[in-house]
Structure 1
Amino acid sequence: MKKFGLATQIFIGLALGIIVGAVFYGNESAMSILQPMGDVFLHLIKMIVIPIVVAALIVSIAGVGDIKKLGKLGGKTILYFEIVTTIALAIGLLAANIFHPGTGIDMGNLEKGNISTYEETAKASESGSIADKFVHIIPSNIFQSLAEGDLLAIVFFSVLFGVGVAVIGEKGKPVLNFFEGVLEAMFWITNLVMKFAPFGVFALIGVNVAKFGIGSLIPLGKLVLVIYVTMFFFVFIILGAIAKFAGTNIFTLIKILKDELILAFTTASSESVLPGLMAKMEKFGCPKAVTSFVIPTGYTFNLDGSSIYQAIAAVFVAQMYGIHLSIAEQITLLLVLMLTSKGMAGVTGASFVVVLTTLSSMGLPLEGMAFIAGIDRILDMLRTSVNVIGNALATIVMSKWEGEFDKEKAERYTASIKQSDVA
């Protein structure tokens, strides 16, 4: 397999996984053999993500040095994230109203999935006020937050620690050097972990096809189609327009991120591409300080694909039960999603929990999400890929906005990609 690039290897793993899953559909023993291989890959990914996020944020913030400059970058970044995710939510609501994916569905023919775990998380979130959510961002014990993978708390601490290192000047340089070393070491480990990616993809896809079968898509095919079409529209029209305004091309960006997008799509894990995404954006001309700040922060605040899914799924459930949502109610739904989607970062099955929490706050039946649970993996694959594209573009936009984008470096890297494709 050394003759093939990572993208080709993952494609082979994907194809073999679908074939093996289809052959062993419903076979519990086959699933029990494949599942550990997929779990090993996901554990390897989760093992490297938190150290990379912490080191990258501290290096980027301490490296900037100028606190005013850092504050401006942070403010601009959060503003951009909020605008783009709100557009994504609005487009999701619009698509659900135009195509009506939930209208006319016979729920008697649908298979329910188990959502009890998600419901418990949603209820816990629902019981807390908005003030509680803000309090939760500040960790009472950073080591506990690191162990639990609480991304919002980790980002908060890392930003504050990075500011501290920057403020103490010369005394902070050994600390900065240490975290720079950690970041480089983690990137080396990432390259090692990625060699296992084709096998992880093979196992994860194989288990899902063997468990649900390709036939599970048919009853909810309209929902899958609406979500996929809406996400493609968002990427090529909305993000395409933003890319053009920023002086780049969305197709060029997708070509550069080919390996990362295939990996994100097949694993449905945005964590798996974090290191590769950061490395690619630096090669494309974005400064390390901007890349190391924007991408980890984007994993918390800038999930465009997830926003589209959440909006369509919420309206889908209402339509499925014949509940009409007025314009005022849909505006309320948009505002609720804006809040809940930001408070769920780092939670397992975050998008699913966001929709459950939103349905609960709007008085809509939670049981409707049980019908989506069976095909959620199929939806998760594309929304993860869209999240990756959105964060990559955000890095370019912020680099341009700060006047630090290296156009010549970007052109050289693009040319080298074209040459490698020809070769």
Structure 2
Amino acid sequence: MAKRLTLYILLAMVAGIAVGITLNATIADPATLKNVTGYISILTDLFLRLIKMIIAPLVFATLVSGIAHMGDTAALGRVGARSIAWFLGASLLSLTLGLVMVNLLQPGVGADLVLPAANTGPELAKADFTLKNFIIHLVPKSFFEAMADNEILQVVVFSVFTGVAATAVGEKAAPLIRGVEALAQVMLQITDYVMRFAPFAVFAAVTTALAEQGPMILISFGKFMGSFYLSMLVLWGILLLICFLIVGGRSKLLIRYIREPILLAFSTASSEAAFPRTLEALDRFGVPPKIASFVLPLGYSFNLDGSMIYCTFATMFIAQAYGIDLSIGQQFTMLLILMVTSKGIAGVPRASLVVISATLAFFDIPEEGLLLILAVDHFLDMGRSATNVVGNAVASVVVAKWEGGLDMIEPAEVEPPKAPSSSA
């Protein structure tokens, strides 16, 4: 099933590119084109809603079960501390690499772009990035509200309390633990059903993006996009190298195991779409479920490496396009600001753009410069989402190694059982 699904997603991407370019070339009226792509995008919207339907109960069930099987709160605290330490280090690496690469490649220098008029910046969801609001937002007012709103970080907090309490209660909580384990298996089975719809969603997403933007947008911003994708590949290489140094030879196989979640995140431009499949892939790779079910949900709030590298890269690109020179001291200040603000954006729509907007204002760079990257943000988000999957997979593997090692590795693809041959 996994091999076929990967092939179908690739074919859907190719078909989406062809259909999207055709629609862009044949439908001249923008309103008509918008109407057509609006109906096509229904497939993508439905798929992403199906994924969101799965994630909150899956995170709750796997996390509670994982904590209960750790056996004591000391182990939980140790895993949590090691996870946060890795997340902070990986975020610092991603932000710093973004600054280094944008200064080396200088994609915005000499860009012949017409700057927008004043007060025409894009309307983005605003967030008050204060430590007080971030801490308060960690705790849900209601577990059901957190589940309904897909506030993963709040679900994680409630799940941690539930798992620790179940451990303290002991044998009396055994029926509850069996129930959440059964719930996790049911949600993974639902995931299998939902993933069969993935190629259609991928086709719709790629078709819509290219139909609305046209292939020329990729050429116009080719230097910026190419530089950013090169920077992300460098980040992949560094993360996998660190993983190899800590884990050893098995880490060479990691990309093979998570290639389907990577492709799914890339083609849908959604890290969430890949969460259930990443959890399954890490289990086959040998990451103990109690580790993966804790580190992975936490990583989706604190360890978005693709978004981190984009924040510094895109901010400096806009500054270069405007001809604004930022000193080394200012760039270091930018890095520190982003280390703080980027951790409080869980649940904010278009989170990377919101953080970039706040950073531009801090350094007196016109926020209208966001319009320079907004046109290609979808195509960049595809790479960011894939990078987030790689970063969180590496984090789970490394923490598992620190916690005593990996389980026995299983085949990367689970083949369907063959039907018994009938004898004549």
Q: TM-score, normalised by structure 2?
A: 0.91
3-state DSSP class of the match of 1:5? helix
1:58 to 48, 61, 64: 64
How many Å apart are 1:110 and its aligned residue? 8.6
| Equivalent runs, 1:23-62 vs 2, <5 Å | 23-25=22-24, 27-62=33-68
| Equivalent runs, 1:249-264 vs 2, <5 Å | 251-264=252-265
How many Å apart are 1:416 and its aligned residue? 8.3
Matched, 1:14 2:17: no
| Equivalent runs, 1:257-272 vs 2, <5 Å | 257-272=258-273
Distance 1:275 1:87, change over 3 A: same
How many Å apart are 1:57 and its aligned residue? 1.4
Q: How far apart in 2 are the matches of 1:260 and 1:75?
A: 26
Q: How far apart in 1 are the matches of 2:139 and 2:339?
A: 20
How many Å apart are 1:359 and its aligned residue? 2.0
Kept in 1, the 8 Å contact 2:122–2:371? The answer is: no
Whichever residue aligns with residue 384 of structure 1, its letter is S
3-state DSSP class of the match of 1:257? helix
Whichever residue aligns with residue 38 of structure 2, its letter is S
Whichever residue aligns with residue 34 of structure 1, its letter is I
Kept in 1, the 8 Å contact 2:87–2:303? The answer is: yes
Residue in 1 aligned with 2:103? 97
Q: Deviations over 1:289-338 (max 9, x none)?
A: 00110111111111111111111011111112222111111111111111
3-state DSSP class of the match of 1:218? helix
| Equivalent runs, 1:213-252 vs 2, <5 Å | 213-248=214-249, 251-252=252-253
Q: TM-score, normalised by structure 1?
A: 0.91
Pairwise CA RMSD: 2.2
How many Å apart are 1:230 and its aligned residue? 0.6
Q: Unmatched 5+ residue regions in structure 2? A: 25-29, 416-424
Q: How far apart in 1 are the matches of 2:109 and 2:325?
A: 11
Whichever residue aligns with residue 15 of structure 1, its letter is V
Q: How far apart in 1 are the matches of 2:96 and 2:16?
A: 36
How many Å apart are 1:32 and its aligned residue? 2.8
How many residues in Structure 1 have an aligned counterpart in Structure 2?
407
How many Å apart are 1:29 and its aligned residue? 3.8
How many Å apart are 1:392 and its aligned residue? 1.0
Q: How far apart in 2 are the matches of 1:318 and 1:106?
A: 14
Q: Deviations over 1:104-152 (max 9, x none)?
A: 112228999x96442xx23x325xx222211221222232222222222
Q: Unmatched 5+ residue regions in structure 1? A: 418-423
Kept in 2, the 8 Å contact 1:65–1:167? The answer is: no
Q: Percent identity?
A: 38
How many Å apart are 1:240 and its aligned residue? 2.3
Kept in 2, the 8 Å contact 1:137–1:156? The answer is: yes
Whichever residue aligns with residue 43 of structure 2, its letter is M
| Equivalent runs, 1:150-169 vs 2, <5 Å | 150-169=151-170
Q: How far apart in 2 are the matches of 1:302 and 1:372?
A: 23
Distance 1:54 1:358, change over 3 A: farther
